Structure 1
């Protein structure tokens, strides 16, 4: 998969094996993983497996989460983009889901908004999707705010093992 998206401050590109250290830093952070429904990783080899899983999604589905690189520092600061969901969630499957996750020191800088808008633009204008979905834990105020800010419409809630999630949808013809 050779998707590369540049925004004013970010580069979104496929994950590489050399991203393992920064991905482990992200996924081992309890603050980052608080609303994810997955325990923080404890060993770097788990991050290697995560990268392999994402690379397999690129191969099988032609799409998957992308590494987000901050241009100014040239550091991997998180991930963002669309994922093709093959497992059912909230009664839906075989849908495109927008997601993002960033290291805490990069929170509050608008990176989720910037990468989210770029992801939506790609999904609607390059992939020609009619609808994109997203969800966030009901207590994750920042993530829910970001999804609404980039034009997602709240469509209800559903229960996950770690709590209540809010379900969002965005149609192609709706403004960002």
Structure 2
């Protein structure tokens, strides 16, 4: 298995490092903020956040790709996490682009910067033939971000109450 450093990516403003269990310390406040995480899922307590980030770390070992922790290159602040994951409950969807930022970092292009790097990495390094994403219909910022990245809305998935997007290389 490759080392975590082999999966580290640097963009103009970000360092993307494979998510690990210890990231729960710096990102629990985001993950447990029910209002901010209203378009996805939140955790009830710190133990649940630890389990979540442990699962992200294990994902890298199982699949050879996963979510990164987003670190600001100049300030070393942890901004959020995101990347490419396989939904263990719905593996048929294939690799899925996900992104979550702390409220103070939204609307500043960081999600786009990470998502663009993840998409390029997925196609060019992993050789993926498709990347999917989901966004609730009332999550306009995510819908716009996906379209800007070249994703195409395919359909509404009623069981998830989300629009399904996909992008080909």
Please report the TM-score for the alignment, with normalisation by the length of structure 2.
0.91
Q: RMSD between aligned alpha carbons?
A: 1.6
**Alignment partner of 1:34 out of 34, 38, 52:** 38
Find the aligned partners of 1:100 and 1:142 in 2 and give their Cα distance.
12
- Please say if 1:12 is aligned against 2:43: no
Please report how far the alpha carbon of residue 94 of structure 1 lies from its aligned counterpart in structure 2 after TM superposition.
5.5
5+ residue gaps, structure 1: none
5+ residue gaps, structure 2: none
Find the aligned partners of 2:22 and 2:88 in 1 and give their Cα distance.
27
Partner of residue 80, structure 1: 82
**Alignment partner of 1:23 out of 24, 27, 33:** 27
Deviates further, 61-70 or 13-22: 13-22
Partner of residue 137, structure 1: 136
Where 1:166 maps in the other structure, the secondary structure is: strand
Q: Number of matched residues?
A: 165
Please report how far the alpha carbon of residue 32 of structure 1 lies from its aligned counterpart in structure 2 after TM superposition.
2.3
Given that 1:154 and 1:167 are in contact with CA atoms closer than 8 Å, whether structure 2 keeps it comes out as yes
Distance 1:72 1:31, change over 3 A: farther
Distance 1:67 1:110, change over 3 A: same
More strand by share: 1
Where 1:117 maps in the other structure, the secondary structure is: helix
Please report how far the alpha carbon of residue 101 of structure 1 lies from its aligned counterpart in structure 2 after TM superposition.
0.6
Given that 2:72 and 2:79 are in contact with CA atoms closer than 8 Å, whether structure 1 keeps it comes out as yes
1:110-149 aligned at under 5 Å gives the runs 110-149=109-148
Given that 1:86 and 1:94 are in contact with CA atoms closer than 8 Å, whether structure 2 keeps it comes out as no
Cα deviation 1:23-46 (Å, max 9, x = unaligned):
20110112321010x2x3232122
**Alignment partner of 1:43 out of 21, 42, 45:** 45
Find the aligned partners of 1:17 and 1:98 in 2 and give their Cα distance.
20
Partner of residue 96, structure 1: 95
Find the aligned partners of 2:155 and 2:130 in 1 and give their Cα distance.
16
Given that 2:135 and 2:162 are in contact with CA atoms closer than 8 Å, whether structure 1 keeps it comes out as yes
Find the aligned partners of 2:48 and 2:82 in 1 and give their Cα distance.
19
Find the aligned partners of 2:38 and 2:45 in 1 and give their Cα distance.
18
